[in-house]
Amino acid sequence: MIEKVKQTTSEKLLLVLFIILGMIALYIFVILPQKCLFVKNYDPKKIIFKNPENIAVLNVNCGNIIIKLYPDISPKSVERFKMLITSGKYNNIAFHRVIKNVLVQSGDLEFGKKDNVNYLYIGTGKSGYGTIKSELNDKIEFKVGTVGMARTNKLNTEDSQFFILLRDAPLFKGEYTPIGEVVYGLEILDTITDDNRREYVLRPDFINSFKLLID
């Protein structure tokens, strides 16, 4: 007759520890890399838009972020934005600045290219088309999903960089140029890689493609 061996308290604790470590490893190496499984990807071709000529589709690793542009509110800025989109300038450009639960920023065409990221100067690059004037509007709320033109600490320095808000920013109203808002895919923005230690991301995610729904 085989006797049943009783586990000591230390053995039980060790077993529990191994289980906990196994669950942590499962999350880090299996679940976390599959972050795209938890968000919905939207197909713009299956959605009816009121003004499709003002719809832009930003594609990242986890899917499409669909943006409605504001040509009536910020005509010059939207014109520049559309030009850069249609010419493919934003493709393979880094999300170089990501503040968790605050905003994501991209559009450094000079130092943010995927095949040649310059981490020393990223965030300071230009488009080569010159700056444009700020188009401030004290009636447009900067809320979750608002897309705005980034600039230096001076007005009239907008160029190609843009940001998308992940939370309301009432202090931005009248200070930054609003160019649109995310209408589908806001949750996908939460999957873009951030760095908890700094605003500028060391190993950033990139824009796969950026297109207008109707060229």
User: How much is the average pLDDT of 30-57?
Assistant: 85
Token pair recorded at residue 63? 């899917």
Q: Could you tell me the pTM of the whole model?
A: 0.83
Residue with tokens 């409605």: 68
Domains annotated on the chain, with CATH = 39-212 (2.40.100.10)
State the average pLDDT for the chain.
90
Q: Note the pLDDT of residue 157.
A: 97
Say whether pLDDT at 191 is over 70. yes
**Sign for the pseudo-dihedral over CA of 34, 36, 39, 43:** negative
List, in sequence order, every beta strand (DSSP E) within the chain.
Answer: 55-60, 63-69, 97-99, 103-106, 146-149, 162-165, 177-184, 209-212
pLDDT digits (tens, 9 = 90+) for 69-92: 999 999 999 999 999 999 999 999
Give the closest residue to 213 by CA, choosing from 39, 36, 46: 46
Q: What is the pLDDT of residue 7?
A: 61
CB atoms within 10 A of CB 114: 13
